[in-house]
Amino acid sequence: MSKLLVTGRKKLGGETYVQGAKNSALPVLAATILTKGENVIYNCPDLSDIEASARILRYLGCKVSRSGSTVLVNCDTIDKYDIPDELMRKTRSSIIFLGAILARTGRAKMSFPGGCEIGLRPIDMHLKALREMGADIREKHGYLDCTAPKGLKGNKISLSFPSVGATEDIMIAACLADGTTTITNAAREPEICDLADFLNKCGAKIYGAGEGVVVIEGVKSLSPTSHSIIPDRIVCATLMACAAVTGSKIILDGVICSHLASVIPVFEDAGCKIRCCNGTLEFTAPEKLKAMKTVRTMPYPGFPTDAQAPLLAVSCIADGTTVFVENIFENRYRHTGELIRMGANIKTVGKVAVVEGVKSLYGAPVEATDLRGAAALVVAGLSAESQTEISGVRYLERGYENLELTLSALGADIKKI
Ligand code: EPZ
């Protein structure tokens, strides 16, 4: 099991390119199932979650190859409709394949995606919507067995919560459905828009992505296309957090600043200076960070839940008290225990975390237990006196492409052992 060794308090400097968005590439890869022929996906990050999706596509009969950040996917022949348990468990976001397999083959069988470290991750909204589109879904012995022999039918779907995954699953399923599907209370994340852009380039008719109501007019078939994945706004926020805790000035390239509209003000509250101009974000941290105001995670365009952990790590050494309210997932403070081992002063009660800034953290052996919690520990390690040893690096590799190489290129003392 690899570990990360971080020796903190090194200033960062220089410029780096932000990787493509994991949470856009995953649904786009699933959506290629609707096409016959070769799709070219540019700016696709090289991550274990992406590799897990490629394994599922290959199992189904698709050809998937990568050269650098370009991934080729050809789904000419799909000769299966099930996802084996061991592939399903690799990443719970595999539920996004349900609508795609059902729309392509009329059948889909997969195990219930397990919960994960940050919560139960129910899929009730996915199943309710697909049933409303005519799918017959049986749930037994932990398996979902779905059929839609006469294909899926467009319908009016109203989501009780703007679920990102459910919105994506329905959008994909609705592209080849008979008739029009309307999703009310749809998620508005930039990754939803990127998926809609990909599907519309394939010939789909999706209107209103990024707003609360999305309309999908079913078409007969889709053809493959080439598409470049949007930059990863959470990786960008994480690199900003690394610069914030080391009093550094860095430049991030390939950024869409509007995707960070709810994150930038939080860093500015802490005294950071941020300048955006056509795809480049210039970040300058103050010598001493001020406490941010209350940070509430919300569906987009609110503050993203995925940025909560890295920003909470920043607040640990800010001057004053910061309050976090985690409104999206029920168990997303697991990193706080490890941060306390590094000298942080954090109290969590339910979905609220109160962070009293301390002068500095000190290095310690810590354990990551989820993807963004792992990122928080890297941020904390960069700020701490002496050395921090982080285990559970496999969690980090799910969402960050060679983060330790990126950070050492910016001047951090960090290595994987
Ligand atoms: C996506 O997860 C992202 N993952 C998550 O990123 C992100 O945190 C989340 O959206 C919120 O932005 C991918 O895109 C692969 P949801 P998803 O459905 O789709 C509840 C990361 O770190 N819910 O919007 O699973 C659910 O339990 C990951 O990159 C239901 O109750 O998120 C949660 O409380 C973590 N029933 C809330 O909705 C359902 O059927 C939001 O979930 C579906 C969801």
Task: Say if residue 116's pLDDT is above 80.
Answer: no
Pairing of strands 213-217, 249-253: unpaired
- C-alpha of residue 250 to centroid of ligand 1, in Å: 30
Q: What percent of the chain has pLDDT over 70?
A: 100
- From CA 299, how far away is CA 286, in angstroms rounded? 29
- C-alpha of residue 165 to centroid of ligand 1, in Å: 6
Check if 242 is active-site.
no
Interval 18-41 mean pLDDT: 98
Class of the domain covering 22-228: alpha beta
pLDDT, tens digit (0-9, with 9 covering 90-100), for 240-255: 999 999 999 999 999 9
Domain(s) labelled CATH 3.65.10.10 in the chain stretch across 3-19+231-416, 22-228
Q: What percent of the chain has pLDDT over 90?
A: 92
CATH of domain 3-19+231-416: 3.65.10.10
**Among 62, 75, 116, 272, the one annotated catalytic:** 116
Per-residue model confidence (pLDDT) at position 91: 77
Per-residue model confidence (pLDDT) at position 118: 80
Task: Say if residue 92's pLDDT is above 80.
Answer: no
Name the amino acid, one letter, at 405.
L
Task: Say if residue 312's pLDDT is above 70.
Answer: yes
By most ligand atoms within 8 Å of CB, the mutation choice from 92, 161, 235 for ligand 1 is 161
Task: Say if residue 115's pLDDT is above 70.
Answer: no
Task: Say if residue 37's pLDDT is above 70.
Answer: yes
pTM of the full structure: 0.97
Q: How far is CA 241 from CA 36, 130, 264, 298, 337, in A?
A: 42, 39, 11, 19, 19
Interval 263-292 mean pLDDT: 97
Q: Share the mean pLDDT of the chain.
A: 96
Report which ligand 1 atom has the smallest distance to the Cα of 126. 40
Return the residue matching tokens 């996802």: 83
Per-position DSSP letters for 182-250, written without gaps between them: EEET----HHHHHHHHHHHHTT-EEE-BTBSEEEEE--S-B---EEEPPB-HHHHHHHHHHHHHTT-EE
Per-residue model confidence (pLDDT) at position 120: 78
- From CA 210, how far away is CA 366, in angstroms rounded? 38
Assign 114 a pLDDT band (cuts: 50, 70, 90).
low
**Ligand 1 pocket by Cβ (under 6 Å):** 22-23, 26, 93, 119, 121-126, 161, 163-166, 187, 305-306, 328-329, 371-372, 399
Give nearest CA residue, ligand 1 atom 17. 165
Return the residue matching tokens 């997932």: 329
- C-alpha of residue 164 to centroid of ligand 1, in Å: 6
pLDDT, tens digit (0-9, with 9 covering 90-100), for 138-171: 998 889 999 998 899 999 999 999 999 999 999 9
Assign 348 a pLDDT band (cuts: 50, 70, 90).
very high
- Categorise residue 378: left if φ over 0, alpha if ψ from -120 to 50, beta otherwise: alpha
Per-residue model confidence (pLDDT) at position 389: 98
Interval 321-336 mean pLDDT: 96
